[in-house]
């Protein structure tokens, strides 16, 4: 006999909906391409990342370009990377301690002011958010191409970064979830 095409569609629909609702839910996913090295944008990145991880999302951060400012081991202006040009570029780019604000930076005073305001309001600072992200097992990935251009090696990045990947791998990781470019 068979499949019951005699039953009305509405019934089928209710049936399939019921199935759907009873299916084991897939883990939700948030993936962020961290392009920016600005203090305010990185604060947004880590606020989203920790907020999502706290409600049990899988979170993937893919650091590229200026985003490397957040994951370079040397936090000041340091002459790192293979080659003279890369060295100069990395030096000028700075690190975690020199993140500018995307607007109204006032020569670097603003990020310090903002950190002060955040402490006063009991809002987690950027360093605290980064630590929280590690503890919540947010996944840190470094962009292959940026590593090549900046002449940087994996050992020069902070420990949560365990893997260097390219675009294809990132797309696979982020598939089926929400993806942001920041």
Find out whether 29 and 174 touch, Cβ atoms under 8 Å: yes
Interface with its own copies, residue 109, by CB under 8 A = no
Shortest Å, Cβ 5 to its own copies: 8
Find out whether 137 and 53 touch, Cβ atoms under 8 Å: yes
- Single out the residue of 52, 61, 138, 161 in contact with its own copies (rule: CB under 8 A): 52
> Would you tell me how many other CB atoms lie within 10 Å of the CB of residue 130?
23
- Single out the residue of 35, 68, 96, 141 in contact with its own copies (rule: CB under 8 A): 35
- Single out the residue of 76, 85, 137, 153 in contact with its own copies (rule: CB under 8 A): 85
- Single out the residue of 27, 109, 127, 145 in contact with its own copies (rule: CB under 8 A): 145
- Single out the residue of 75, 78, 89, 128 in contact with its own copies (rule: CB under 8 A): 89
Which strands form 29-34's sheet, in the order they lie side by side? 161-165, 139-143, 58-63, 29-34, 178-181
How many residues comprise the chain? Answer: 182
What's the rounded Cα separation, in Å, for the pair 46 and 51?
8
Sign of CA dihedral 32, 156, 86, 105: positive
Rule CB under 8 A: which residues touch its own copies?
Answer: 1-7, 9, 11-13, 15-17, 19, 22-24, 28, 30, 33, 35, 37, 40-41, 44, 47-48, 51-52, 54-55, 57, 64-66, 83, 85-86, 89, 92-93, 100, 102-104, 113-114, 116-118, 120-123, 145, 148-149, 151, 166-168, 171, 174-175, 178-182
């Amino acid at each position: 006999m068979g499949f019951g095409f005699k039953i009305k569609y509405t019934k089928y629909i209710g049936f399939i909906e019921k199935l759907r609702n009873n299916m084991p839910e897939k883990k939700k996913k948030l993936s962020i391409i961290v392009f920016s090295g600005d203090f305010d944008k990185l604060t947004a990145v880590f606020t989203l990342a920790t907020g999502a991880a706290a409600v049990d999302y899988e979170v993937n951060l893919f650091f590229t370009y200026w985003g490397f400012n957040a994951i370079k081991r040397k936090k000041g202006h340091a002459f790192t990377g293979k080659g003279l040009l890369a060295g100069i570029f990395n030096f000028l780019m700075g690190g975690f301690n020199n993140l500018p604000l995307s607007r109204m930076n006032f020569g670097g005073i603003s990020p310090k002011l903002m950190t002060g305001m955040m402490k006063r309001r009991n809002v987690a600072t950027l360093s605290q958010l980064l630590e929280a992200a590690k503890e919540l097992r947010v996944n840190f990935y470094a962009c292959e191409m940026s590593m090549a251009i900046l002449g940087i090696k994996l050992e020069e990045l902070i420990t949560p970064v365990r893997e260097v990947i390219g675009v294809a791998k990132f797309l696979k990781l982020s598939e089926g979830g929400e993806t942001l470019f920041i």
